[in-house]
Amino acid sequence: MCGKNNNAFKPSIFSVPMIQNYSRLVEKIAKASGKETQEIDRLVEAKRAKLSGLISREGAAQIIAAELGISFEKEKVKVNEIVDGMRKVNMIGKIVRMFPVREFKKETREGKVANMLVADETGSIKLVLWDTNHISLVETGEIKDGDVVEVSNAGVRSGEIHLSSFSDIKLSTEKIENVKMGGEFSDKKIFDFKIGENIKTRAVIVQAFEPRFFNVCPECNSKVFEGAEGSVCEKHGKVVPSRRALISVVLDDGGASMRGVLFSEGIEGLGYKISELEGETFAGKKREILGKEAYFYGNVRQNKLFNNTELFISKVEDIDIEKLIELLEKR
């Protein structure tokens, strides 16, 4: 990580999901305990004061709940309440995209892994299945695109829900009609970013690195492999690939900095076509990119290869000075 925040990404100390919406959490505690929400609020603030303010309101509320004998271990959370470090997560979501099962082989381990994107009315998140019994449900078609599934006892890392042999996934009888792809974007400073969050931040590009180019399947956007017969997609076979690009940049908001990754959509948001960034033309474009100030939308993720935190940028929005002045005047 390039920024100055060394503590923003520590996992939750709680063994059960921490419900991040404070007001919703207080309402649940009040209902379960028979107390008024105002009384729960007072208990939370008293607990924070006792701990010298070293714990968040959400964390203090979790402690109050435990002291009142209220357990959220079986609580089902919504996608927008899921944050990195959660354990024993229970949730229900609709499968909106199923990825092919992949085989992997490492020095000490080999096996299969299955990925799928699930969503509810608050957002979407990736499920990663490692257990052979869970993966067989995908391979046999017992779990497929469009199904609503119930997940129990899962963990969250790098902004994804991971299911181990201790977890469970099964078909749910619940109906989810209106799913929301992506999630709410929280307006935050880089110092306050947490892994898994969808954020919007105002920052300046202070570094830009050489772009990387790759080919993807035009049908599913998965990476294609070059064979004797040309470009091949695991799912769609031989295809005419689409050209994609990514650029790594460093964003700075005046208080902290972080590496960001711009894919084709983000690059176009800067006002450039992919063809303009190949070869020697990038040197000239780089001078235009450096110093660019904008609103950057994206998801905070952990780069497993380099063990640092990055912002995967999905959208770049120019700053409307008049609107910004109007907003500042209202504060």
pLDDT at position 11, please?
Answer: 35
Determine the pLDDT at residue 237.
78
Q: Retrieve residue 251's tokens.
A: 């964003």
Per residue in 77-120, pLDDT tens?
888 777 666 678 899 999 988 888 888 776 677 888 999 989 99
Domain boundaries, the chain: 22-67, 79-171, 186-330
Which residues fall within 8 angstroms of residue 28, CB to CB, at 6 or more apart? 19, 70, 72, 75
Band of the pLDDT at 326, cuts 50, 70, 90?
Answer: low
Q: What distance in Å separates the CA atoms of residue 88 and residue 318, rounded to the nearest whole number?
A: 40
> How confident is the model over 227-265, as pLDDT tens digits?
777 888 776 778 888 888 888 999 999 999 999 998 877
Q: List Cα–Cα distances, 230 to 31, 202, 225, in angstroms.
A: 62, 43, 8
CA atoms within 13 A of residue 16's CA, in its CB half-sphere: 15
Name the token pair of 212: 């990387």
Q: pLDDT category, 221, cuts 50, 70, 90?
A: low
Are 190 and 258 in contact by the 8 Å Cβ rule? The answer is: yes
79-171 and 186-330 have identical folds: yes
Both tokens assigned to 110: 């080999």
Angle made by CA atoms 79, 60, 3, in degrees to the nearest 5:
65
Q: What is the pLDDT of residue 8?
A: 40
pLDDT for the residue 197: 77
* Residue 321 pLDDT greater than 90, yes or no: no
Question: Taking all residues of the chain, what is their mean pLDDT, rounded to a whole number?
Answer: 81
Encoding tokens for residue 48?
A: 């924070």
Written out in words, the top-level CATH class of the domain with range 79-171 is mainly beta
Class of domain 186-330: mainly beta
Q: pLDDT tens across 24-44, in order?
A: 778 888 888 899 989 999 999
The share of the chain scoring above pLDDT 90, in percent, equals 27
User: In the numeric block, which tokens belong to residue 3?
Assistant: 């920024």
